Structure 1
Amino acid sequence: MKEQQNNIGLLLISESSLPLAQTLQQELPGSFILTTTQASGCLHTDSYDAYLSEHFNQCEAWIFIGAMGICVRTIAPYLHDKHTDPAVVCVDSTGHFAISVLSGHVGGANELTRMVAAILGAEAVITTQSDRNGLWALDTLGKQYGWACQSGTGTTLNEVIARFVNGEPTALLFDIRDRGTDYLERSLPPHVKVYKKVEDIPADCRLLIAVGYRDYSHLVSPQTVVLYYIPQVLHIGIGLAHQASPTDEVTSHLYQELEKAHLLPQAIASIASIDLKREEPVLHRLAEHYHVHFYTAAELDTINVPSPSDTVRKHTGTGSVSEAAAILSSGGGPLILPKVKGSNYTLAIAVDAAHALGGHIEIVGAGPGDPELISLRGRHMLEKADLILYAGSLVPRELTLCAKPGATVRSSASMNLEEQIALMKDFYDRGKLVVRLHTGDPCIYGAIQEQMNWFDHYGMRYHITPGISSFLAAAAELQSQFTIPERVQTIILTRGEGRTPMPEREQLHLLARSQSTMCIFLSAGIAEEVQQELLKEYPPHTPVAVCYKLTWKDQRIFRGELKDLATIVKDNHLTLTTLIVVGEAIGNRQGLSRLYADEFKHLFRK
């Protein structure tokens, strides 16, 4: 669908289909029902032809409910171009089929068809060849991930799509890494192969799909057509002489340098310079087209650059402007164009650090134990990782069985922190993907702070994929809502004071004063002390649940009262991977939200 779904017209061929239209109207915001008879809640018109002649292109989409032939004859006079025509879907009068009629990809009719079919419980009928064959929709793929789309010189998008859907040999080449490239790698059609270097692409390749910022037209075979998906990932740093001019000459030189380096201008994300140059005409001109920002000399001077200059330092207070500004604005990404000197300017270009190729570390939350409770992103990362370093006995090894052939899978149980970092850095420095797999959510007692400190020290790029924490698994397994309207509205995640001291303000008895639902981690070994602390504020009969290895095959859950907590833990020999839950929310079925209390009271009357 188009970005703004402002209006969807529901046009009734037969008034008997009004209930179908009303169902769709309830589920599709901004939709209206158009009829030629008077009906409550509907827009009336004496003639569909007269109405559509004036309003057809004012709607984002039209849904005809009735015969396909009538739908086609009705819209035929108003069709102009697939890039501007609205989406059209036809639903038969019984609601059994939803058919994509017009503007399937570009206009969003295919997406709307699936949506309509889901609402009505109908069968979606989509005839677009790429959809029928399970192929990428090349004309809309870029929009999903914020990429500009551009076919190579002398090539139309239709020619590209024709080669692709006909299954001709296709190469896929990445200059960057993001969600979109992850998706493409996961969903490769049989006739598409990923290449790391353009030089490796065979001469008989008929289509190159390049995702990134480089122009490859000069490197591919004449029989190969190119489709570029261009993310905005290039950050340009500019150093300027005072009143650098003429402005047009400097800006044209900028684009000439991009062309000389075979970089695509559409990939420019930002332009940066030193704040001393805020009033330079060149930067004002560039600000008409790009986001331009400025750094102080002190900020620029924190960046190590390949080509520092004593002359630049003398005039600006920093050893670099162009290179340092490019690196800063890219978030520490690599320079792909070191400093280039012009007559009265310097120029450097860096790639956004979050998207640059090379080594990467993904810290993944494994969830509470059940391999099916890891996130989709976490699973995808495991499937493509070159190294999986998992947290020993805290994470079931079954989670790593999806590793690709040739991947290294290691337990960190026998390693100290320095050994773990050394192993990950070795893979990282070789441009590999490392997954550090932690139990639950890694940000809750996950011990990742020390690792991130090392990653920052070495300048290693990393990202965190959250996981389902065991306290959420506890709520699910206990069939409990941990927040009860007007009774308990706070959940406290904490631990008892064992070998790791607790801040004075976070002593258990102080936290217990709120009578909140308390989830206590890593404390089975000190259950007696925990019980004594909690009994200072909670009543002895407060419900308690001791949860051992939540969602694992050998999961065990023991319910009782707070006064019996220590006995429960001791009698059942519970140690590691045990979560203690305390509070009246456990198993509570009292208290209704205002939604139910005010609007659905009749459902609960005896």
Structure 2
Amino acid sequence: MKLACFSFTEKGYKIGEAISKLSNENNYEIHHYPSSKIPEGVNNLLKRIWSEYEGFIFISAVGIAVRMINPFIKHKTIDPAVIVIDDLGKYSISLLSGHLGGANEIAQWIGEKLGAMPIITTASDNRGIDSIDMFAKRNNYFIENMNSTTKLTSMMVNGKKIGLYTEDGEIIKYDNLVLVQSLENVNLNIDGLIIVSSKLNISAIEVPYIVLRPKNINIGIGCRKGIEANMIINAIKSALNEIEISLESIKAIGTVEVKKDEAGIIEAAKYFNCSLKIFTIDEIKNIENNFAQSQFVKNTIGVYSVAEPSAYLLGGKLIKHKSIYNGITIAVSRSIHN
């Protein structure tokens, strides 16, 4: 994580130097910018590097930091972490993006290193419960309706009864939690609902709810040589739409080693921001008898099937057997939590 540190006084400079020497600890890369050594001025430098850093540390009064960052603040999902340390090194304050940006964690870490008191004002942390955005971040869930996080987290802060339906098995840290086994006819006496699911078209829920998309969907692909990326991308979209599965839940794409250099498959993995796993002929041969077989595929590449074995080897249970879209074979599996 790349952090920029600004200091404004002689004492602040010493603290900034001490912090910069912690670079490479805890995966932090820290650059110190003393205000006296910035010819263009802090405001101009901040404007230039705002998008380059994931976090900013101000060794200053809180008011100075607030005025300087104000022009650049956009939304909690993209704002960097901002931490303020007084120039006596007494307090380490999480000012902005405490959860998703990681400011709470950084403030606590710096506090431990400097012997300063971490100041964390987010209500959920102070009550020892998970905020929904941190729960999502920790488990790599995509938050589908981000605007609902504040409302649901507020309910948790106020001790309301919250339901949790999950395909993933991870449980949010909250005492007044009710596990929901099905989204059909949710009739429990709950005030809100957290849904961790790859399913689209969730039936009407009468209480406030939020949808978190787990990365649990695997795509097996077989295709003819030289197929274009847009055709593969559209084939995957069609396959998942048919079974009402969110694209945000794609975890991995898999295929056979003969196809490892197919530009279309490689670009599709980049498009969906997922991993690409290449299986050997032997790996597929070991399980190919469990799936539908094609003599043409066998004669062409040496195995009877690619899409279904690849989806299976990526983990989980097949939820869509092979379907063909303009010469592209797609199969889908869902990972099962332990």
**Cα distance between partner residues in 2 of 1:275 and 1:16:** 59
Task: Report what 1:189 is aligned to.
Answer: 174
Matched AA of 2:203: L
**In structure 2, distance between residues paired with 1:23 and 1:86:** 22
Counterpart CA distance in 2 for 1:244 and 1:35 is 55
Out of 3, 7, 10, the position equivalent to 1:11 is 7
Deviation at 1:343, TM superposition (A): 7.1
**Structure 1 residues 159, 314: closer, same or farther in 2, change over 3 A?**
closer
Q: Which position in structure 2 is the counterpart of 1:101?
A: 95
With over 3 angstroms needed to count, the CA separation of the structure-2 counterparts of 1:71 and 1:344, relative to structure 1, is closer
Contact 2:104–2:120 (CA<8 Å) still a contact in 1?
A: yes
CA shift at 1:125, angstroms?
A: 1.4
Equivalence map 1:120-519=2 (5 Å): 120-145=114-139, 147-151=140-144, 156-167=145-156, 168-177=160-169, 181=170, 185=171, 188-199=173-184, 201-202=186-187, 205=190, 207-212=192-197, 214-215=198-199, 217-231=201-215, 233-240=216-223, 251-274=233-256, 283=265, 286=268, 289=271, 291=276, 293=278, 295-296=280-281, 298-303=282-287, 306-309=290-293, 311=295, 315=299, 318-330=303-315, 333-340=316-323, 344=327, 346-352=329-335, 356-357=336-337
Distance between the aligned counterparts of 2:44 and 2:304, measured in 1? 70
- Residues 1:23 and 2:18 are matched in the alignment: yes
Q: For each residue in 1:272-301, what CA deviation from the matched residue of structure 2 results, as whole angstroms up to 9, or x when unmatched?
A: 4455667888647645536263542x5433
Partner of 1:100, secondary structure, is strand
Please give the alpha-carbon distance, in whole angstroms, between the structure 1 residues aligned to 2:21 and 2:266.
49
Note the residue ranges of structure 2 that are not aligned, 5 or more in a row: 24-28
Q: Give the secondary-structure state (helix, strand or coil) at the position aligned to 1:198.
A: coil
What is the aligned residue count? 326
Distance 1:301-1:133 versus aligned 2 partners, 3 A rule: same
In structure 2, the CA distance between the partners of 1:205 and 1:255, relative to structure 1 (3 Å rule), is farther
Q: Distance in 2 between matches of 1:303 and 1:235?
A: 17
Distance in 2 separating the partners of 1:284 and 1:112: 36
**Percent of aligned pairs with the same residue?**
23
Q: Provide closer, same or farther for how the CA distance between residues 283 and 225 of structure 1 changes in structure 2, counting only shifts above 3 A.
A: same
Task: State the alpha-carbon separation in 1 of the partners of residues 231 and 56 from structure 2.
Answer: 50
Query: What letter is aligned with 2:143?
Result: Q
Q: In the alignment, residue 30 of structure 1 is paired with which amino acid?
A: I
Distance 1:224 1:319, change over 3 A: farther
Contact kept? 1:86, 1:107, Cα under 8 Å: yes
Across the aligned residues of Structure 1 and Structure 2, the Cα RMSD in angstroms comes to: 3.8
Kindly provide the CA deviation profile for residues 329-377 of structure 1, in whole angstroms up to 9, marking residues without a partner as x. 43xx33232344667554322234xxx24xx6xxxxxxxxxxxxxxxxx
Aligned pair in 2 of structure 1 residues 33, 243: CA closer, same or farther (>3 Å)?
A: closer
Cα–Cα, structure 1 residues 60 and 325, in superposed 2: closer, same or farther, change >3 Å? closer
CA distance 1:52–1:236, shift in 2 (3 Å) = closer
The answer as to whether partners of 2:142 and 2:212 remain within 8 angstroms in 1 is yes
Instruction: Kindly indicate whether the alpha-carbon contact (under 8 Å) linking 2:235 and 2:328 is maintained by their aligned counterparts in 1.
Output: no
Q: What displacement does 1:130 show? A: 2.4
Structure 1 residue ranges without an equivalent (≥5): 37-42, 361-606
Indicate the SS of the match to 1:157. Answer: coil
Cα distance in 2 for partners of 1:114, 1:51 equals: 26
- Any conservation in 2 of the 1:135–1:165 contact (CA below 8 Å)? no
Which one-letter code corresponds to 2:32 in the other structure?
F
Q: Work out the CA distance in 2 between the residues paired with 1:216 and 1:285.
A: 25
- Describe the shift of the 1:225–1:26 C-alpha distance in structure 2 as closer, same or farther (beyond 3 A): same
Q: Is the 8 A contact 1:238 1:272 kept in 2?
A: yes
CA contact (8 A) 2:136 2:212 kept: no
Q: In the TM superposition, what whole-angstrom CA distance separates every residue of 1:547-595 from its partner, at most 9, and x where no partner exists?
A: xxxxxxxxxxxxxxxxxxxxxxxxxxxxxxxxxxxxxxxxxxxxxxxxx
AA at the equivalent of 2:237: Y
What is the CA–CA distance in structure 2 between the aligned matches of 1:112 and 1:209, rounded to whole Å?
A: 27
Letter in 2 for 1:15: E
Give the deviation of 1:202 after TM superposition: 2.9
Secondary structure, counterpart of 1:173 in structure 2:
strand
Number of the residue aligned with 2:26: none
Label 1:324 to 1:19 Cα distance change in 2 as closer, same or farther (>3 A).
closer
Aligned-pair CA distance for 1:25: 3.4
State the match for 1:88 in structure 2.
Answer: 82
1:110-152: CA deviations, max 9, x gaps?
222112221222221122222223332333443334x24131x
Task: State the alpha-carbon separation in 2 of the partners of residues 280 and 35 from structure 1.
Answer: 51
- Measured after TM superposition, the shift of residue 157 of structure 1 is 0.9
SS at match of 1:104: coil
Any conservation in 1 of the 2:254–2:277 contact (CA below 8 Å)? Answer: yes
Please state how far the C-alpha of 1:267 moved relative to its aligned partner. Answer: 2.8
Deviations 1:75-104 (A, max 9, x none): 444544444544332223433222222232
